[in-house]
């Protein structure tokens, strides 16, 4: 269908010529390629993203680039990651239908996916900076995390299918290596790629001198690198969620890998906490409290929904080899204590990953717009410091965050702190 | 070199015809195939094992069978496991040279490995039943466990190499499935394949009613199934060690997989504890105490050696991405607290796996000769009961076994117990 099989990056000018005969595309946007409006909108670092609009409708064309865009072409990345992104989308669609974009076409050679154009959805992070609310957001995200975690694990899957999938995804080495470097290593020493707001120097030095903190981070790193419990999204921040006022979808699973069931939940909560702490940089006093409390409610409800949905799945879909009903219910024994113990472990780990994500987004290469868009260095630094210090507490006391209430109370406390 | 490529099981009669032109074999036993003495000596369940003796020397020819021998041909097993056994032997030889048999020839189609004949080594389990001592045994085994655990992990290996290897070994599904069923599931309910000494019924019922115990076992099972920390031997019991009075070697890594660093250590200690508890069935009072204390010294020294050797490797070979010197020593920060925390976690897990192995060898399909060779049911049951009850305590209080002394004190205590 494509004119070439050797990889070549698309441009707005070549797209209609190269993809104009693709029926999976023309059936959705129309065959009159000369009328297509083509716009490159990628704001990520790894891909080209085009909106192709025709008389019949619009689609997204996403193509992997052979390098990390953020750092020029100095960090080459294999194109096969589009294959894993495609595989991840297929699994997420099966495990939580209707929550990720529909795939119309996949071309492995061109590292290219044609998929559903979400409209009028916009990136959730921008909404959080703008102070917009999204109905049903926490229920959507908590459910997404629970279903993908549970249904991708050996609590649910046939063990042989899951192991075959682990083998498949273990072939993806370079993408996890980015997370390993930028998330778990760089923030905790003076890595060359790092940058942070200069006013944070003292706080950053304090963190990097904290051996207990670094030890706990390495424990979580070891688990991230070795624990193949389930297929995780791997980069579930507010830039990987697109929403309208009432609907949300998860996008961009190009960092998908087998990892801990706690990982996506922890990443997600971290990004809401960063949205929370950054609000004084985006909003005047009259709406600040109310909007911050809305974000805390999202955090709280996401965690509660995760645990509720996980419990429902545990009670109704425990068909894998782990914690089998054969050993519990079939013997007249409740498995609820076992479930609670597992949920406690997941929550403890999630709090640890949450703290690490809060650190790396302020200290490592890739920062969040939530803080970056605050132009006043002094204001930004004071808010980032709250974020860094709460991150540390979460990492060090992760097993003491016993419920959502404790977590949001801690956030309110750090939100009042002056650490500079 | 072989006359056929389609798999065919060797027999003592066909071996010399089929392998007689293999120079890697004839160079070691001699070319006069008519003079070869061929003896099938396999006492395992999955393989044919031949000693081939000629004028120049002897070799072992090991060939995988397409089914589990213990249960007839009702449990088919893929022949490709010989490939993984070969790969595991190569890695173990690299990580702890001179501790596994040398490989002379590998034939993937015939699922066949020609390897070093260990002589006058005999299976360690038989020595332990006979009351024989082996010099240097604990130092050998503790070092083996530490080196294979450390050097096969991302504490040492380049992450991309380790992940490639995880992908390779994740292709082996059926062999881990045996461990998953026989070790972690069957012992804890009335599985069809199970059998146990009838006099144990009350104790067995008590264990199977213990929901807290089953929960902890499932936690360890989940970690075994998902945690790809290092390449483990996977079946490191006293039947997988061959010794003379002064030398030992590890054999039969056909259950090798990526798993927890604690697994081999736990399995090994379990098998020494079973040797310990079974001694009253094999020995008269005059030598009993002394030999039992020798076994406890082996357990204690194995654990101490493991931790000492792991510490040496940590201090000298920490070249992987986990706990990098960049974050510790290079910053003037000691990593010894991090090491101690990791060793504590490994020991805690090992105690849990130890208890599970003690259970499954008394309750599940494959029992140990240590107990099985005790003909008197009443005697055997009383000793097996001590083993089962200590196994439970290890599983439930694994985090309280802080050193080798605590472990052997517990063994002495259970050795006096009457649980029937």
The pLDDT tens digits for A162-217 are 999 999 999 888 888 988 999 999 999 999 999 999 999 999 999 999 999 999 99
Q: Cα–Cα distances in Å, from B145 out to A50, B227, B285, B303, B346?
A: 53, 17, 33, 10, 12
Residue B159's CB is within 10 A of a number of other CB atoms, namely 17
pLDDT of residue B331: 97
Choose among A415, A9, A166, A107: nearest CA to B172: A166
The pLDDT assigned to A2 comes to 46
pLDDT digits (tens, 9 = 90+) for B46-67: 899 999 999 999 999 999 998 8
Report the candidate in B310, B297, B248, B240 with the shortest Cα–Cα distance to residue B268.
B240
The helix/strand count (H/E) of chain B reads as 15, 10
List, as ranges, residues 283-322 from B with C-beta within 8 Å of A.
Answer: 321-322
Q: Determine contact: B192 vs chain A, CB below 8 A.
A: no
At A183-198, the pLDDT tens digits run: 999 999 999 999 999 9
DSSP string over A281-327: GTS-HHHHHHHHHHHHHHHHHHHHHHHHHHHHHHHH---SSSS-GGG
Q: Which residue has the tokens 């797209």?
A: A15
What pLDDT, on the 0 to 100 scale, is given for residue A1? 44
Q: What is the ipTM of this complex?
A: 0.95
- Helix A285-316 to helix A404-415 angle (10° resolution) is 160
Contact A327 B180 (CB under 8 A): no
Kindly state whether B225 is in contact with chain A, defined as any CB-CB distance less than 8 angstroms: yes
Query: By CB neighbour count within 10 A (0-12 exposed, 13-18 middle, 19+ buried), where does A20 fall?
Result: middle
pLDDT at B175: 87
B153, B155, B170, best to mutate vs chain A, most A CBs in 10 Å: B170
- Which residues are B53's β-sheet partners? B37, B58
Chain A residues closer than 8 Å to B80 by CB: none
Q: Is A353 helix (H, G, I), strand (E, B) or coil?
A: helix
Of A66-70, A378-382, B409-413, the least confident? A66-70
| High-pLDDT (> 90) share of chain A, % | 91
Among candidates A159, A160, A215 on the partner chain, residue whose Cβ is nearest the Cβ of B341 = A215
Q: What is the arithmetic mean of pLDDT over B221-232?
A: 97
Instruction: Tell me which chain A residue has its CA closest to the CA of residue B229.
Output: A226
CB contact under 8 A, B327 and A170: no
Task: Provide the pLDDT for residue B377.
Answer: 96
Q: What is the pLDDT of residue B68?
A: 74
Q: What pLDDT is attached to residue B69?
A: 64
Question: Domains along chain B?
Answer: 15-116 (3.30.200.20), 122-415 (3.90.1200.10)
Q: Quote the mean pLDDT of chain A.
A: 95
Q: Which residues contact B255 (CB under 8 A, 6 or more apart)?
A: B175, B176, B178, B179, B233, B234, B235
Bridge partners (DSSP) of residue B39 are B51
CB burial of B95-128 (b: ≥16 within 10 Å; e: otherwise) equals bbeebbbebbbbbeebbbbbbbbbeebebbbbbb
A266, containing H or E segment: helix A263-278
Phi, psi angles (nearest 5°) of residue A112: -130, 135
What's residue B73's pLDDT? 57
CA distance A342 to B223: 12
pLDDT at B4 over 80: no
A chain contacts of residue B227, beta-carbon cutoff 8 Å: 226-228
Contact B185/A327, CB-based, under 8 Å? yes
Could you tell me which chain A residue has the CA closest to the CA of B227? A227
pLDDT at A364 over 50: yes
pLDDT at site B46:
81
Of B154, B337, B345, the CB nearest to A225: B154
Segment B162-165 long-range contacts (CB within 8 Å, at least 24 positions apart)? B162/B320, B163/A170, B163/A173, B163/A176, B164/A170, B164/A171, B164/A173, B165/B231, B165/B258
Does the pLDDT at position B3 exceed 60? no
CA separation for the pair A182, B144 (Å, rounded): 34
> Does residue B44 register a pLDDT over 90?
no
pLDDT one-digit tens code per residue, A119-136: 999 999 999 999 999 999
Q: Average pLDDT of B118-145?
A: 98
* pLDDT of B114 over the 60 cut: yes
Using a CB–CB cutoff of 8 Å, tell me whether A219 touches chain B: yes
Instruction: Give me the mean pLDDT over the A242-256 stretch.
Output: 97
CB atoms within 10 A of CB B363: 27
Bridge partners of B114, per DSSP, are B61, B105
Is A163–B176 a contact, with Cβ atoms under 8 angstroms apart? yes
- CA A315-A320-A322 angle, 5° bins: 85
Q: How many helices (H) and strands (E) does chain A have?
A: 15, 10
* b/e per residue A137-167 (b: at least 16 CB within 10 A): bbbbbbbbbbbbbbbbbbbbbebeebbebbb
Task: Give me the pLDDT at residue A198, please.
Answer: 97
| Residue B341 · residue B314 · CB < 8 Å | no
CB contact under 8 A, B219 and A341: yes
Residue A200 neighbours by CB distance under 10 Å: 23
Considering CB atoms only, which of A170, A225, A331 is closest to B322? A225
On whether the CB atoms of residues B371 and B395 are closer than 8 A, the answer is: no
Amino acid B67: pLDDT? 81
What is the mean predicted confidence (pLDDT) over B124-147?
98
> What's the pLDDT tens digit per position in A394-414?
999 999 999 999 999 999 999
* Residues of A (161-180) whose Cβ lies below 8 Å from B: 163-164, 166-168, 170-171, 173, 176-177, 180
The whole-chain average pLDDT of chain B stands at 95
Average pLDDT over residues B301-308: 98
Average pLDDT over residues A223-229: 97
Query: Is a pLDDT exceeding 60 seen at residue B72?
Result: no
Query: Which of A413-419's residues contact partners 24+ apart within 8 Å by CB, and which partners?
Result: A414/A277, A414/A386, A414/A387, A414/A389, A414/A390, A415/A276, A415/A277, A415/A292, A415/A386, A417/A385, A417/A386, A417/A389, A418/A382, A419/A203, A419/A382, A419/A385, A419/A386, A419/A388, A419/A389
- Residues in chain A with CB shorter than 8 Å from the CB of B168 are 167
- pLDDT at residue B301, rounded to an integer: 98
B243 phi/psi in degrees, rounded to 5: -140, 155
User: Which residues in B lie closer than 8 A to residue A330 (C-beta atoms)?
Assistant: 189
The pLDDT assigned to A75 comes to 74
Record the tokens describing residue A167, joined without a space: 């083998």
Is any Cβ of chain B less than 8 angstroms from the Cβ of A336?
Answer: no
In angstroms, rounded to a whole number, what is the distance separating the alpha carbons of residues B269 and B234? 13
Residue A116 in this model has a pLDDT that exceeds 80: yes
What mean pLDDT comes out for the span B54-82? 84
CA distance B282 to B295: 14
Interface contact B228, partner A, CB < 8 A: yes
Residues 114-143 of A with CB under 8 A from B: none
pLDDT in tens, B327-377: 999 999 999 999 999 999 999 999 999 999 999 999 999 999 999 999 999
pLDDT given at position A54: 97
Average confidence (pLDDT) over B60-84: 82
Could you tell me how many residues make up chain B? 420
Q: What pLDDT does B226 receive?
A: 97
Q: Which chain B residues are Cβ-neighbours of A338 within 8 angstroms?
A: 211, 214-215, 218
What residues have CB less than 8 Å from A66, skipping those under 6 apart?
A7, A73, A76, A77, A78, A79
Reported confidence tier of residue A71, pLDDT bands at 50, 70, 90:
low
The fraction of chain B above a pLDDT of 90, given in percent, is 91
Report percent pLDDT > 70 for chain B. Answer: 97
CB A92 within 8 A of CB A100: yes
Q: pLDDT band at residue B2, thresholds of 50, 70 and 90?
A: very low
Residue A67: its pLDDT value, please?
A: 81
Q: Are B179 and B171 in contact (CB under 8 A)?
A: no
Q: What whole-number distance in Å separates Cα of residue A381 and Cα of residue A392?
A: 16
Does A160 contact B180 at a Cβ distance shorter than 8 Å? no
Task: Dig out the tokens for A327 from the structure.
Answer: 């050993």
Cα–Cα distance, A239 to A255 (Å, whole number) = 13
Interface probe, candidates A170, A209, A338, A340, chain B, greatest B C-beta count within 10 A: A170
Whether the predicted pLDDT of B77 surpasses 90: no
Report the 10 Å Cβ neighbour count for A309: 20
| CA separation for the pair B218, A339 (Å, rounded) | 11
How large is the average pLDDT for residues B151-172?
A: 95
DSSP character string of B163-182: HHHHHHHTT--HHHHHHIII
The answer to whether residue B284 scores a pLDDT higher than 70 is yes
Q: A168 to chain B: which residues are within 8 Å by CB?
A: 167
């Amino acid at each position: 269908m494509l004119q070439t099989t050797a990889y070549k990056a698309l441009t707005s000018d070549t797209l209609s010529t190269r993809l104009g005969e693709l029926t999976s595309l023309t059936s959705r946007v129309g065959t009159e390629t000369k009328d297509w409006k083509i716009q490159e909108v990628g704001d990520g670092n790894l891909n080209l993203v085009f909106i192709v609009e025709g008389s019949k409708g619009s689609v997204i064309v996403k193509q992997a680039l052979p390098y990390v865009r953020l750092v020029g072409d100095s960090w080459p990345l294999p194109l096969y990651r589009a294959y894993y992104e495609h595989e991840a989308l297929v699994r997420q669609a099966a495990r939580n239908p209707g929550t990720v974009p529909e795939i119309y076409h996949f071309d492995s050679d061109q590292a290219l996916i044609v998929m559903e154009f979400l409209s009028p959805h916009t990136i959730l992070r921008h909404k959080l900076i703008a102070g917009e609310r999204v109905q049903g957001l926490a229920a959507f995200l908590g459910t997404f995390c629970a279903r993908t975690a549970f249904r991708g694990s050996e609590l649910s899957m046939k063990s042989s299918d899951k192991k075959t999938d682990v083998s498949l995804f273990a072939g993806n080495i370079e993408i996890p290596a980015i997370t390993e470097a930028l998330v778990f290593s760089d923030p905790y020493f003076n890595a060359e790629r790092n940058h942070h707001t200069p006013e944070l120097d003292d706080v950053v030095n304090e963190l990097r001198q904290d051996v207990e903190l670094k030890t706990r981070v390495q424990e979580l790193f070891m688990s991230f690198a070795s624990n193949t419990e389930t297929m995780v999204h791997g980069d579930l921040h507010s830039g990987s969620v697109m929403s309208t006022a009432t609907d949300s979808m998860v996008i961009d699973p190009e960092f998908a890998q087998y990892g801990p069931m706690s990982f996506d939940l922890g990443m997600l909560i971290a990004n809401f906490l960063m949205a929370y702490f950054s609000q004084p940089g985006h909003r005047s006093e009259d709406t600040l409290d109310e909007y911050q409390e809305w974000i805390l409610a999202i955090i709280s409800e996401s965690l509660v929904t995760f645990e509720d949905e996980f419990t429902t799945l545990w009670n109704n879909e425990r068909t894998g080899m782990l914690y089998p009903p054969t050993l519990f219910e079939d013997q007249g024994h409740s498995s609820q204590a076992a479930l609670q113990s597992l949920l406690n472990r997941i929550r403890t780990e999630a709090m640890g990953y949450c703290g690490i994500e809060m650190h790396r987004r302020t200290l490592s290469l890739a920062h969040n717009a939530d803080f970056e868009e605050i132009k006043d260095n002094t204001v930004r630094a004071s808010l980032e410091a709250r974020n860094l210090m709460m991150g540390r507490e979460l990492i060090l006391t992760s097993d003491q965050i016993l419920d959502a209430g404790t977590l949001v109370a801690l956030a309110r406390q750090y939100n009042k702190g002056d650490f500079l």
